[in-house]
Amino acid sequence: MLCQVSSRAPGYDLARTARMAAYGGLIAGPMGSTWFNALEKNVFPRAPTSPLAIASKIGIDQAFMAPLGTALFFAITSLMDARPTAIVPAMREKLVPTVTASWKLWPLAHLVNFALIPPHQRILYTNVVSVGWTYVLSQMSQCGTQTETASASPPQQVACHVPTEELAQEPEVEVVSAGVGELVPISISH
């Protein structure tokens, strides 16, 4: 929703919002919870906040979950968009730039997560950080691949609203502290 509101595209695509919400609620949320529980249980469980444990969890997460989770995102969103033939081109063209962009955000976010956030609140913390990251993912998923753009009619060629140089930059996410039960205002800018 944030991605669409901030873009210059005409109209609002409620189906796109529903697909992103379904992906987050049915796939990303349960997968993240399972992943964090597995890391907590299996990576230095006797000293879970030691520097070696934190570095190991970040390394394992970024080496395995970042590329696998990103590939799954592109595959599932392509299927949800009824574009199964877009999966392979999306992987070829978007996977490496998206994972590279994720490495600008998630290692630092996970340093805070694994060092300071209690295990039972890690998904909540990750979800707050994910608001900014989902903006990037949503833009990337809506960007047409070179194959799709070349074969599209002119109205469909305006598939991506984030210039390539902006995708290389880490989005600035500002989270303002709030008391228990208060909303947390979040602003995202490139």
Q: What is the pLDDT of residue 9?
A: 58
- Structural domain for 23, as ranges: 2-189
10-residue block means of pLDDT along the chain (190 residues)?
51 83 90 94 96 98 96 92 92 92 94 95 91 81 54 35 44 42 40
What pLDDT, on the 0 to 100 scale, is given for residue 8? 54
Q: Residue 60: its pLDDT value, please?
A: 98
pLDDT of residue 20: 85
How far apart CA 141 and CA 119 sit, in angstroms, is: 30
Residue 44, Ramachandran bin (φ over 0: left; ψ between -120 and 50: alpha; else beta):
left
Total domains in the chain come to: 1
Tokens of residue 115, six digits: 């060092």
CA-CA-CA-CA torsion for 158, 9, 28, 112, nearest 10 degrees? 110
The pLDDT of residue 144: 59
pTM: 0.69
Q: With contact defined as beta carbons under 8 Å apart, do 126 and 114 qualify? A: no
Q: How far apart are CA 52 and CA 57, in angstroms?
A: 9
